[in-house]
Amino acid sequence: MRKAVRAAEVVFDREVDGLWIAEVAGMPGALAYGKTKQGARAKAEGIAKHTGLKPGDL
């Protein structure tokens, strides 16, 4: 049986130096910087997956 996986919302912001910040909504501390928006997203999602937590688990 497969478990339903809830999609995580990723929120973006951009620093004055041009770096992107991606934060997984509902997961405090699951944020990452990247030179590109896609790079920041990939890093933040990796952090979230590594914790084994899903948004709303905290």
pLDDT confidence of residue 46: 85
CA distance 45 to 37: 12
Question: Is 58 domain-assigned?
Answer: no
Host domain of residue 38: 10-51
Phi, psi angles (nearest 5°) of residue 48: -60, -45
Question: Is 1 domain-assigned?
Answer: no
How many Å from the N-terminal Cα to the C-terminal Cα in the chain?
25
From residue 4, alpha-carbon distances to 38, 46, 48 in Å are 25, 19, 17
pLDDT confidence of residue 29: 80
- Predicted confidence (pLDDT) per residue in 1-58, tens digit: 444 445 568 899 999 999 999 998 888 888 899 999 999 999 988 888 887 766 555 4
pTM more than 0.75: no
Residue given tokens 């995580």 in the structure block: 8
pLDDT confidence of residue 45: 83
Question: Is 33 domain-assigned?
Answer: yes
Question: Is 22 domain-assigned?
Answer: yes
Query: How many domains does one find in the chain?
Result: 1
pLDDT confidence of residue 7: 59
pLDDT confidence of residue 20: 97
